[in-house]
Structure 1
Amino acid sequence: MTHELNTGGDRGYLRIATEEAFATQEQIDVFLRMVRDGTADKGMVSLWGFYATSPSERATQIMDRLLDLGEQRLRHMDETGIDRAVLALTSPGVQPMLDVAEAKHIAANANDRLADARAAHPDRFIGMTAVAPQDPDWSAAEIRRGAAELGFKGVQINSHTQGEYLDDPKYDPIFRALADTGQPLYIHPATPPDSMIDPMLEAGLDGAIFGFGVETGMHLLRLITIGIFDRYPDLQIMVGHMGEALPYWLYRLDFMHQAGVRANRYARMKPLNKTIAGYMRSNVLVTNSGMAWEPAIKFAQQVVGEDRVMYAMDYPYQYVADEVRAMDNMDMAPELKKKFFQTNAERWFGL
């Protein structure tokens, strides 16, 4: 499987990594303060109580890499053949912060820092706007600033905001701004809220191993079943980690959703213009972040669409050169592999 990982397209495509994280020190400082003073939820205590304080090699490496938007990150991209990286403020962004003014300040500063890094390396870095959904109107304005002034190509929201989901009507200004700017929304995982985390936490399953995907997949389903794509038919929502398992549940999701609608079982579950699978094929985009697994990628391409599945590394949380080689070596037609690594990202991020 060994081959050189070069940038520049020597294998017939560029590699664009579409879910790559960075952090700011003031963001991490607030996480630590919240863990110390008891205002953090259980998920933050589990996640950032580890990454920001553990002396383990994994934690210290990740923290060092998250805070770097310069030479180390570029060197790691070069060493693994990554031509361009789509960068977003690491989960959970500013969404757990109880002081809304502080959250907005930190998100805006993070956006400015990312814009500076993008300006310094315009051929390597692509930005996504960080927002503070605690203030939907401010977030809408920041989405417009990111698109018009900072040159960003999408928006990332880290699933729930203090246990609330984007299907609540109060978040509509965010979707209106996405529609007005034509930008995609990337729903990135966060640890589950306190209302659902306990059985996962006690088993060590609250984070990337399981809890992230379960919670984020549910978030996307809440949006689909409330009719977000009927209201905003051009909206594109991205999810990582091979679609947070939803592509593999599609048959049952559709069967049971339609049964529930026919039975009038739930007040919020109304008829939609399409099936769940239909929306997955017209409004949902999937990246393989953290899932360098050929069978899963091919299945998603089959059921969601070849134009809707994109490459991601999930740097710095998952940084493995041999995973890039495995993706290069997939048994896949050259034109499809180029879509996966390059042209789908160029299309959906408007590059």
Structure 2
Amino acid sequence: MTSRRGFLGAAAATGVAFCSCGLLESAHAAGATRRQAVAVNGKKVKTIDVHAHCVFLDVLPLIDNNRSILVNTVRGGTEAPIDVATRFAAMDAQKVDMEVLSVNPFWYGRERDVAAQIVKINNTKMAELCAAHPDRFAGFCSLTLQDPQLAVQELETAVKQQGLKGAAVGTNFNGTPFADPRFHPVWAKAEELGAALFFHPQGVPELSKQLAGNGWLTNAVAYPTETTITLSKLIFEGTLDRFPNLKIISAHGGGWLPHYADRQDHACLVNPGGCDPNIKLKKKPSDYLKQMYFDSLVFTPEALRHLTAVVGASQVMLGSDYPYPWELNPVDHIFATKTLSDEQKLDILGRTAAKVLKIKA
């Protein structure tokens, strides 16, 4: 594993310096005084944000130096290439002790060998960044899902050799649902390794025309819809029965599914013709939500109350979507939800993520 000094030297040599050593030491010194330990009724907890993004500019030559693919004009986009001092200051302001970083998969539409090169760089840089700052960063690896067998190897290397916590994936592969048997070897390896899969939507191209216009509905509506479709397919195609110990974490509170899951319990009863008699689920469709995990990015105490009532507070983890400013006070959001017990707050703030991702609390 690359040392802290080696990591910073390598980054500077490639022209991608996260910050100078002086700034780094200043950030640590400032953090020692600024960071407030979070406690619930006197019990301290390591706050772990499982939904935080980054990109690595080292991949630019592989995408025709098109920086806009990595750094877009959306608010917060310019902070995706991590400057350590800036990111630490933001985390301190949010009362976040650790971010579990992920790179959204922009390479799914690329040729297999190019995608594999992008993934290799992403995973190497992610491992170096996390090794340099193990108290502040953990990471999910990237996968070349163009070639599921290669993805299996990448996941094993990431977890066993690079110290990463699992993989960040989209919610389908270029329209092919993740319930498709071609991806079973990847999910089998994740289950074997005890590695988590962080599902993050990319949008629904088929809906773009209907969602055009005011409100950025291609994100606000399409992203939760895409996640809902993905989780529903994993349930109804029997994928979660096949891999019952798979650790799935869904962004944005699981989309719409936790808020209307009961409808799916009635679908095959109302229309048996719309269901495959050869797929016999082992439990009620809505019960599968209790074996998955969800981030807390649902904006209001009432929404969080409902999410935890449906899936269980033990299945929810802190999430912010940083650097994108969807939720700039993720820790305060948990404290504002008065329906949660002290133990439930401790679980959501960090204890569940520490357990599931094998992070020292």
TM-score, normalised via structure 1 length = 0.84
C-alpha distance in structure 2 between counterparts of 1:209 and 1:156, whole Å? 21
Find 2:109's aligned residue among 96, 100, 115: 96
Correspondence 1:318 to 2:325: yes
Q: Work out whether residues 185 and 237 of structure 1, in 8 Å CA contact, stay in contact via their aligned partners in 2.
A: yes
1:139-173 CA-to-partner distances (Å, cap 9, x unmatched) read 11111011100111121101122222211111112
Q: CA deviation at 1:302?
A: 1.1
- How far did 1:107 drift? 1.0
Q: Deviations over 1:166-222 (max 9, x none)?
A: 111111121121122111211111111x33432123565453311111012101111
Moved more, 321-330 or 159-168: 321-330
Q: Is the 8 A contact 1:69 1:117 kept in 2?
A: no
Gap change, CA 1:204 and 1:9, over 3 Å in 2: closer
For residues 34 and 96 of structure 1, the distance between their equivalents in structure 2, rounded to whole angstroms, comes to 15
- Map 1:242-281; keep pairs closer than 5 Å: 242-260=253-271, 263-267=272-276, 270-281=279-290
1:223 equivalent in alignment to 2:234: yes
Structure 1 residues 315 and 28: alpha-carbon distance in aligned structure 2, compared to 1, 3 A threshold: farther
- Report the CA distance shift for 1:308/1:247 in structure 2 as closer, same or farther (over 3 A): same
- In the alignment, does 2:37 pair up with 1:8? yes
Q: Which residue, 71, 74, 82 being the options, matches 2:88?
A: 74
What is the one-letter code of the residue matched to 1:186? Answer: F
Give the letter for the 2:260 counterpart. Answer: W
Whole-angstrom distance in 2 between the partners of 1:326 and 1:5: 20
Secondary structure at 1:208 match in 2: helix
1:342 pairs with 2:350: yes
Q: Distance in 1 between matches of 2:277 and 2:66?
A: 35
CA distance in 2, matches of 1:234, 1:333: 27
Q: 1:23 to 1:146 in 2, by over 3 A?
A: same
Q: Could you say what the CA RMSD is over the residues aligned between the two structures, in angstroms? A: 2.5
Q: How does 1:23-42 map to 2 (within 5 A)?
A: 23-27=55-59
Tell me the distance in 1 between the aligned counterparts of 2:256 and 2:154: 31
Residues 33 and 162 (structure 1 numbering): CA distance in 2 closer, same or farther, change over 3 Å? farther
Verify the 8 A CA contact 1:93 1:107 in the aligned structure 2: no
Q: For the residues of structure 1 that align with 2:213 and 2:242, how far apart are their CA atoms?
A: 39
Could you tell me which runs of 5 or more consecutive residues in structure 1 were left unpaired when the two chains were aligned. 36-47
Task: Report what 2:203 is aligned to.
Answer: 191
- Which of 274, 279, 301 is the equivalent residue of 1:294? 301
Structure 2 counterpart of 1:18, from 50, 53, 59: 50
Q: CA deviation at 1:30?
A: 5.8
Q: Is the 8 A contact 1:179 1:234 kept in 2?
A: yes
Q: Give, in whole Å, the separation in 1 of the partners of 2:144 and 2:279.
A: 30
Q: Within 2, Cα distance between the matches of 1:28 and 1:88? A: 17
Q: 1:228-265, CA deviations, whole angstroms, 9 ceiling, x for partnerless residues? A: 111111112111212212111111111114444xx243
Q: Choose the corresponding residue for 1:146, options 132, 153, 158.
A: 158
Shift of 1:96: 2.4
Q: In 2, Cα distance between the equivalents of 1:64 and 1:218?
A: 30
Partner deviation per Cα, 1:258-305 (whole Å, 9 max, x = no partner): 444xx2434487221111111111x2111123x231111111111111
Distance, in Å, in 2 between the alignment partners of 1:255 and 1:227 is 17
TM-superposed deviation, 1:114: 0.8
Distance 1:268-1:150 versus aligned 2 partners, 3 A rule: farther
What's the CA shift for 1:309?
Answer: 0.9
Cα offset for 1:28?
6.0
Aligned residues: 323
1:135 equivalent to 2:142? Answer no
> What amino acid is aligned across from residue 190 of structure 2 in structure 1?
L
Change (3 A) 1:269 1:197: farther
Q: TM-score, normalised by structure 2?
A: 0.82
CA distance in 2, matches of 1:350, 1:239: 18
Task: Report percent identity of matched pairs.
Answer: 22
